[in-house]
A and B are shown apart, each in its own frame.
Chain A
């Protein structure tokens, strides 16, 4: 789709040029480091986490409609299961490096690791010297859509990621490589607008490109029908507002959305190849309210937080038996329409102790991706029920950088046949931040 590339490429190039050129120009005038001011060195912090997990009663593993809308019969390697074993688990550990280049750039690198994997979760530069309230971030980062998406587990109020974020944006949230530009309005009410141009290659925006091929059990080769689309393939935009409500209350509202001009997914079968090719968009609202009682150690404080996201994936679907033969009538166009929300509240019921409740719904609207059904392989656009989860937590912070959290979650998931079952999980989380742990965002 060359037309779109023409639109996005120059925009990306322009932003990058702006990010690089403007601070350099400004440097000549007035960059000076004052003796004795904050050092510019490297700050390192380490976050260690251990989780004890116990599945007290077994329910339905996956909420219906979010595993590409049909039963694969095999794992794709990006399952949504958060993967705790019954018993002790090394949780999600992070090693973060932060440094500045004068006051021109902040650099940030966060490595996430567990027993088996080390992953670059974030690696980006942020400009600190653009005029007019602009800021540009470039690299791999967590998108600023919604509220929880850009926050690491250490800052969450519950052990696990909200379902809506996990199932619409993936196990790491919307985490992408690209460029973000924000503008903060010089207004009394905090008003931040932002745009992100992102590569668009993750579990929410799958991308295959051309050139793939698949061999069936009968030995037929099926070449993929996808065309290559160069990145960035995903554009997002967000706005955040925060009125000044005095010393006791603080609030922030956000609205965000994104458009992926390419959404390509395939599933290989012994008897053929299924392909979905199209585009997708999403939009959501988020709000957070914090009450500060003024007592020490968070006693009497409140935090309320909620998010809603909706997405549509508009695709052409086909299942082929060989290069040219469609299996039955497994061909057509359709839209998956899905959403989810959560709302949670946390209260500091005693100094250093807090308790919270979270309610979640996933798939209030739950129309899956087009697929085929029956032995005739007829084209179908399946609909599914809504899955729910309710969680309660108690957190104790013996000292500032340490917390111990117990969480009980009841999931009430629906499966693809419309049957529901309840499962109960218990989690105990120990999280410790060592070193120069950076300031927390609101």
Chain B
């Protein structure tokens, strides 16, 4: 094989690679505005970040609020967003474990690595309820740290907001005062709104939920979870399980709540056999919400229950 041919090939390959790289550099967008570029996995966290960040933060939410945040793909667009992020907010406790680690690794951005100040994990900031996955048989969906669906608890969200403001202040000390003030105001509004809504709900409500994703309603509303439509977390309702639920709950009053993306069949079965009203509710506010979107979501949850 002649040397010259090989050399030409290598030179050509290298030239091609170099020109692609040069082209990409030319196509780079201008640097974003001076604020914090924040990427939040869920829109509940996004709403907090928007409220606290105000004009000093640009917030992008990855998980569409009408999807199950357990099961997403580590999409190229997620990695592109994380590549430019100053901060990543995640729920943690296993909620995003099926896709976020891959997206983080693929983002080539140290700022949002686990352990860096730019990585904020909400589950580290509040005490978690026990997850029913910790007690049941291991079906591949175990949240060892506890139940990660604490976005359904405005009181915990208030705490998370305060911790988030602290972290944002570390990254952007110039705006520390504004961040802390907004977080405190947000915490007050969350707590007040929770109290107001709780007072309007009839006392001692019993609810059946689909997954353990609305368990935290017990923390601020006068409700008790009396059953799950899923026989085990991550397993769709079976006829046998639904019949046993009906047997247990026969003759009692209550409400069935499930998420909009969950199949309605189990809830409908309970409605037919127990006469319980059923409501499909969102689990997170719309993707572009601020705090108002989250407050509205709280109202939606509370008003799905019988009112005084």
Asked if B273 is at the interface (CB within 8 A of a chain A CB), the reply is no
Q: Measured between C-beta atoms, what is the minimum distance from A18 to chain B in Å?
A: 14
Asked if A425 is at the interface (CB within 8 A of a chain B CB), the reply is no
Q: Assess A188 versus B29: contact at CB under 8 Å? Given A244-B80, A278-B1.
A: yes
Q: Assess A295 versus B10: contact at CB under 8 Å? Given A130-B110, A193-B20, A250-B73.
A: no
4 extra interchain contacts, Cβ-Cβ under 8 A, other than A240-B76, A292-B67, A352-B236? A4-B6, A40-B115, A188-B80, A439-B98
Asked if A134 is at the interface (CB within 8 A of a chain B CB), the reply is yes
Main secondary structure of the interface of B (DSSP, over half): loop
CA distance A244 to B75 in the complex (A): 9
CA distance A144 to B28 in the complex (A): 24
Asked if A118 is at the interface (CB within 8 A of a chain B CB), the reply is no
For chain B, give the interface size range. Answer: 35 or more
Q: What is the 8 Å Cβ interface bit string for chain B, positions 66-80, against chain A (1 contact, 0 not)? A: 111001011111011
CB neighbours of A278 from chain B (8 A): 1
Asked if B303 is at the interface (CB within 8 A of a chain A CB), the reply is no
CB neighbours of B106 from chain A (8 A): 184, 192, 441
B80 to A187, Cβ gap below 8 A?
A: yes
Q: Measured between C-beta atoms, what is the minimum distance from B25 to chain A in Å?
A: 8
Q: What is the 8 Å Cβ interface bit string for chain A, positions 105-134, against chain B (1 contact, 0 not)? A: 010000000000000000000101111011
CA distance A184 to B113 in the complex (A): 15
Q: Measured between C-beta atoms, what is the minimum distance from B62 to chain A in Å?
A: 10
The residues in A between 183 and 200 inclusive whose CB is less than 8 angstroms from any CB of B are: 183-193, 195
The residues in A between 126 and 165 inclusive whose CB is less than 8 angstroms from any CB of B are: 126, 128-131, 133-135
B141 to A38, Cβ gap below 8 A?
A: no
Of all chain A residues, which has the CB nearest B139? A399
The residues in A between 376 and 409 inclusive whose CB is less than 8 angstroms from any CB of B are: 399-402
22 sample A-B contacts, Cβ–Cβ < 8 Å, listed by A number:
A32-B115, A102-B115, A103-B114, A103-B115, A130-B108, A183-B108, A187-B27, A187-B29, A187-B80, A235-B10, A235-B13, A237-B13, A237-B17, A244-B81, A250-B73, A295-B263, A296-B236, A297-B263, A315-B1, A439-B103, A440-B73, A441-B74
CA distance A83 to B117 in the complex (A): 51
CB neighbours of A189 from chain B (8 A): 80
For chain A, give the interface size range. Answer: 35 or more
B80 to A128, Cβ gap below 8 A?
A: no
The residues in A between 273 and 303 inclusive whose CB is less than 8 angstroms from any CB of B are: 277-279, 281, 290, 292, 294-299
Q: Which of B81, B101, B115 contacts A439 (CB 8 A)?
A: B101
